[in-house]
Amino acid sequence: MLSKEVNDLLTQTDKGTPMGELFRHYWIPALLDRELPENDCPPVRVKLLGEHMVAFRDSDGRYGLIEEFCAHRRVSLWFGRNEESGLRCPYHGWKYDVTGQCIEIPSDPEKTIFRNSIKLQAYPLIKVGDVLWTFMGVNDKRPPDPTWEFATVSPEQTVTTKRFQESNWLQALEGGIDSGHVSWLHSNELERDPLFRGAKVNQYNLDDVTPVFDVSPSDGGLYIGVRRNVEEGKYYWRITQWVMPCFSMIPPRADHPQHGHFWVPIDDENCWTWSYDYHPERPLTAEERQACLDGKGVHAPVIPGTFFPVQNKGNDYLMDREAQKRGETYSGIAGFGIQDASLQESMGPIIDRSKENLVATDKGIVMTRNRLRNAVTELRDNDTMPPGREPEHQKVRSVSVILDPDQNYVEACRDHMIAAEGKMRTTV
């Protein structure tokens, strides 16, 4: 359980809050590259960390992420005309470049220096993989560009999606790193979903529903090890990578693609759930890629033309009580991603963690909260840079492995948990 003060510290991310300032020390996903598909395409609304912005791609292919509202009369620049290397407000024609600088005021024919004094808040927007990333902090603390393996393999090896989630970012993250629920919530989905079925280890999840958690610090965050008993007295270990502040990588199953999430705050009560699938050794098959885009695996089907899930709070996630009763789905809700989201959203926008009753299998969640709390307070009080910003912190892999009882999972798998081009991954 957490006090209200600590809960607020970890969940509030607007500008000026301690956690909000921590997020502003990282590159975070802002848009899929296909949202800005060509030069001078329509601008896109973006809300991150409580800030309203618009993103656009100018005539020269440069990406911009600027404050949404025109400096003149505060009209939304989403209505703007993207033309001739700038975004023009349709109300009175004020025009801005990708840096937020006002470059034209048509009502000021003398072109006075007043125009030069007008500049909207702007943040860098760069393309790495199929994601456009932004850094919302100050320039002298800008980290190296993202080096996550899913974003740096060839385009044929990776696919990324995103969806809107009606909950605070932290409860989404905590759900994502909780391997214990797989044996229950997802039990009927393992052999149905094309991105999971056929893996021998699916049965391991079902046979041992009392896993043992062993959580260890990593340079960028935590190794969340989950141990289950298997044949001949050995242990099946699933080692999830959590990297500060909001990245996770789920252990692989057989030769299926690797997958994971980013949970990025929109505001204190909503977040973007980013989901990726990739394979470090081969291109994704056409069937695997389409399954991701169709919302299988850790992804979710979305309403065409939006990023809102088809199954959502407004329609009770299309729950089928008869399917639940017959045992077709454990919760009555279909799909890994929405099974998770439905329960995370059911807790309310922000959990009152003072009312929780945690147990041993919540060790990963407890240590994640502690790591976040320590990083936030060290940054706030001592200006200590948080972990997870450096390239070596991001070049990680999760692991699925069978070990002898006397083997320490961190030591046995340390090299396997480092990503490198051409390196075979460790999976069961």
pLDDT mean over 178-198: 82
Angle between helices 169-176 and 4-11 (to 10 degrees): 90
pTM passes above 0.85:
yes
* 292-337 pLDDT per residue, tens: 999 999 999 999 999 999 999 999 999 999 988 888 888 889 998 9
What pLDDT was estimated at residue 1?
78
For residue 421, pLDDT beyond 70: yes
pLDDT at 423 over 70: yes
Q: What is the mean pLDDT of residues 377-386?
A: 98
Average pLDDT in the chain: 95
Q: How confident is the model at residue 282 (pLDDT cuts 50, 70, 90)?
A: very high
**Neighbouring C-alpha atoms within 13 Å toward the C-beta of 391:** 5
Q: What is the CATH number of domain 27-141?
A: 2.102.10.10
Among the residue ranges 61-65, 211-215, 366-370, 398-402, the one predicted with the least confidence is 211-215
Place of tokens 């709390």: 373
pLDDT at residue 71, rounded to an integer:
97
Residue 153 in tokens:
């393999």
* Percent residues over pLDDT 90 in the chain: 86
Please list the residues that pair with 400 across neighbouring strands. Answer: 238
Weakest mean pLDDT among 39-43, 115-119, 262-266, 342-346:
115-119
CB 385 within 8 A of CB 391: no
Distance CA 218, CA 44 (A): 37
What does the pLDDT look like over 64-123, one tens digit per residue? 999 999 999 999 999 999 999 999 999 999 999 999 999 999 988 666 678 888 999 999
Q: For residue 155, what pLDDT is reported?
A: 98
pLDDT of res. 44? 98
| Cis amide prior to 29 (ω within 30 degrees) | no
Listed by start position, the domains of the chain span: 27-141, 149-417
The CATH number given to 149-417 is 3.90.380
How far apart are alpha carbons 358 and 365 in whole angstroms?
Answer: 9
